Structure 1
């Protein structure tokens, strides 16, 4: 696997971590949040084998239950800050759109989700 391909796969894995963090920040992951993620990825992201890595990573984290929202969010930020060139304006907009879809899918956005979405927005604007 070429280095570029590996980095792109890591990009999508880290997006799975981010969306998992958004979904579990309030302590539970609802079926509606999972469905919103799947729907948005399939509808909005250019479907490739790698984009399904977003859903696979999210699902693995959800099954494993060993990772909390804060850990996953920090991991995403670390990846983002070391791979800034992957975060084009169009990708950043799509990340925000997907994060909002996940957060809004079950009983709209709660306080913890709003705070994490605001942190994400701030961090994305820095790059």
Structure 2
């Protein structure tokens, strides 16, 4: 696997962690949040680039795979936000403004999919925006 492919897969895996952290911010991932994530992956993320995983599937599906796996584990989302933050700091060049905007839109859409954004989800999105503005 080429290094750029490896980074491409890690990129989407870390987005899965971030979106899980947003959904899990209130300690409960709801079916509507999962539906919204899948909708955004299919509508927007599949078009971002041509990266494929080792199974020749669009690497953007790594977002869903990681999200689902973390949801099965039912762990605290804060840890995964920290992992995303570390990845972002190491590979900030992989995050042009258009991608940052799509990440924030996806996070906000997940957060508002069930009864609007709650305080903990808004805080996670605020931390994400702060990260992108540094």
Gaps of 5+ in 1: none
**Residue from 94, 97, 100 that aligns with 1:86:** 94
Give the gaps of 5 or more residues in structure 2: 51-57
- 1:100 and 1:25 mapped to 2: Cα distance? 12
1:76 corresponding residue in structure 2: 84
**Number of corresponding residues:** 125
1:96 shift after superposition: 0.4
Please report the TM-score for the alignment, with normalisation by the length of structure 2: 0.90
1:37 is aligned to 37
Q: Distance in 2 between matches of 1:10 and 1:44?
A: 18
Runs (4+) off by over 3 Å: none
Q: C-alpha separation between the residues in 2 aligned to 1:39 and 1:84?
A: 26
TM-score by length of 1: 0.95
Q: CA RMSD in A?
A: 1.0
Q: Which residue of 2 aligns with 1:28?
A: 28
